[in-house]
Structure 1
Amino acid sequence: MSRRIQWAGAHLAASLLITSMVAALVFLVWFPHPFRELAGGVKLFLIIVTVDVILGPAATLIVANPKKSLKELRLDVAFISLLQIAALAYGLWTMVQARPVYMAFEVSRFRVIHAVDVDPQLLAQAPAEWRHLPMGRPQLVAVRPFRSAQEQSDAMFAELGGLTLGARPDFWMPYADAVSAVKAEAKPLAELLQRKPEARAAAEAMARDLGRPLDGLLYLPVAGRNLFWTALIDAASGMPLDYLPVDPY
């Protein structure tokens, strides 16, 4: 039994080391706060951890039979490790496709845009600076105003089919150009806290951390993957400062 534990323990230590490096990449680069929750990064990462940290060492514990020769054992562990690496590579590829690339201001709210949401054909038609999706932290972008009633009608029908405005590169414009629209659509945070008094403690703590008074903050909804949060916006600059895990609707 000691041989099984020794080999499984070594496998577990290696798996934990690799997983810690993957966690740094995932949560510091691809899914930083608040995207680990808004974009489902935690759930995807847990799948990787299950395969890499649990199944691999568990399989080694099973195959590390003391009756096997060292050569046989090494071959078994090598095969398990190859399967584990393949599963990890597929998991990372899935996370690359699911990673958030933009926080888009859509008319009256923000929306998290994932790489998989963006049509490559539309991406090729976008301005040069947006033809390649960012591989680092998600960036701010805004949806431009409609240029005609026909364009608005076509966009609405496309959205009914699942193509949201924020995921359309042909509608993107710099966030700085939309600041006045953001401030016009945003509402005082105090209004939200009147409707959601249970959120006051968290909002006050966040305001203290930001060094802002509550009356200096506005809010807008944020549409994530199957959930809504609240963006806290600086009333002066129109920039989102942090995100409150409260559904504002």
Structure 2
Amino acid sequence: MPAVSPSLKSRSSAAAIHLTLSLAVAALAAWLVFALWYPYPYREISGGRHLFLIVMAVDVIMGPLLTLAVFNRSKPAAELRRDLTVIGMLQVAALAYGLWTVSVARPVHLVFEIDRFRVVHAIDIPEEEMDLAPLELRRLPWTGPTLLSVRNFRSQQEGLDATLAAVQGFPLGARPFLWQRYDEARPQILKVARPLDDLKNRFPDQVGTIDAALRSGPDRSRASESVAYVPLAGRDKFWTVLLDLRTTEVIAFVPIDSF
């Protein structure tokens, strides 16, 4: 078996150290993304897991491979420091750009709009309309989506304009001038919410998934008679929201397209 050259050993050791440091940074970034920006179930509904894995795969692999390629103890110390500094700067820049991309796509609101819930992402919201939102809603959250609802249209023309815009790709839930507190839509939510048993009858093969979602909620003894469901539209996925009929509190999510 041929001996491994000292140069390759030193380069491999340097790359391994760099990989360890990169994985530690990736773990911190994962906490930021999945604990704050994309808490469950939004990492699934909004594609947060997929986006993050792409960013981390590129960043974690790029730095150590570059170190493996350029590290050489025979280089002058100043030159070696320069090379490693450039690699570090490239990796930090790639990480910053990747996290920025993930952040602008983060879910910011779960909005009840007419007959469904919609996950609204920061990138979905027209920036020029933010000043039209209620004063307390003009700053987008960084710690996971907040519950909102869409108010009633104030005129037939407003409804027509908003509906046409929705057809063109600007959903009602992403229009700041239509936002209101979630509890203000309680009568409409109760009107469209359907009994949980209906969902189980429609999807008999998903009964186990539905029951598991309910057990994961804060009240595991909640009677099914007090639970209803409303469809949920995400970026490119459709789930279902389970609600408490007494309070309209969101109690669980299930990966079922109930539209």
> Which TM-score band applies after superposition, normalised by the shorter structure?
over 0.9
* Match for residue 209 of structure 1 among 203, 216, 235: 216
Q: Distance in 1 between matches of 2:62 and 2:36?
A: 26
Q: Which amino acid aligns with 2:48?
A: G
Taking the TM superposition and a 5 Å limit, the aligned residue runs for 1:44-193 are: 44-193=51-200
Q: Which amino acid aligns with 1:99?
A: R
| SS state at 1:179 partner | helix
Check whether the contact 1:105–1:111 (CA below 8 A) recurs between aligned residues.
yes
Greater CA drift, 81-90 or 125-134: 125-134
Runs of 4+ in 1 over 4 A off after TM superposition: none
Greater CA drift, 174-183 or 64-73: 64-73
| SS state at 2:216 partner | helix
* Match for residue 35 of structure 1 among 15, 31, 42: 42
Report Cα offsets for 1:169-198 as digits up to 9, x if no partner: 100110011122111111112111111112
Q: Distance in 2 between matches of 1:144 and 1:187?
A: 21
Offset, 1:51: 2.0
Match of 2:11 in 1: 4
Q: Which runs of 5+ in 1 are unaligned?
A: none
| TM-score normalised according to structure 2 size | 0.92
| SS state at 1:146 partner | coil
Report Cα offsets for 1:58-112 as digits up to 9, x if no partner: 2211222454344433322211111110011111111221111100001111001
Report Cα offsets for 1:140-175 as digits up to 9, x if no partner: 000001122211111111112211100011001100
Q: Distance in 2 between matches of 1:182 and 1:239?
A: 10
Identity percentage of aligned residues = 44
Offset, 1:54: 1.3
Check whether the contact 1:180–1:238 (CA below 8 A) recurs between aligned residues.
no
Match of 2:243 in 1: 233
Check whether the contact 1:179–1:239 (CA below 8 A) recurs between aligned residues.
no
Number of residue equivalences: 249
* Alignment RMSD: 1.4
| TM-score normalised according to structure 1 size | 0.95
Q: Distance in 2 between matches of 1:215 and 1:73?
A: 69
Offset, 1:208: 2.3
Check whether the contact 2:148–2:181 (CA below 8 A) recurs between aligned residues.
yes
Q: Distance in 1 between matches of 2:40 and 2:116?
A: 18
Q: Distance in 2 between matches of 1:236 and 1:53?
A: 48
Structure number with bigger Rg: 2
Q: Which amino acid aligns with 1:164?
A: P
Check whether the contact 2:200–2:207 (CA below 8 A) recurs between aligned residues.
yes
Greater CA drift, 127-136 or 83-92: 127-136
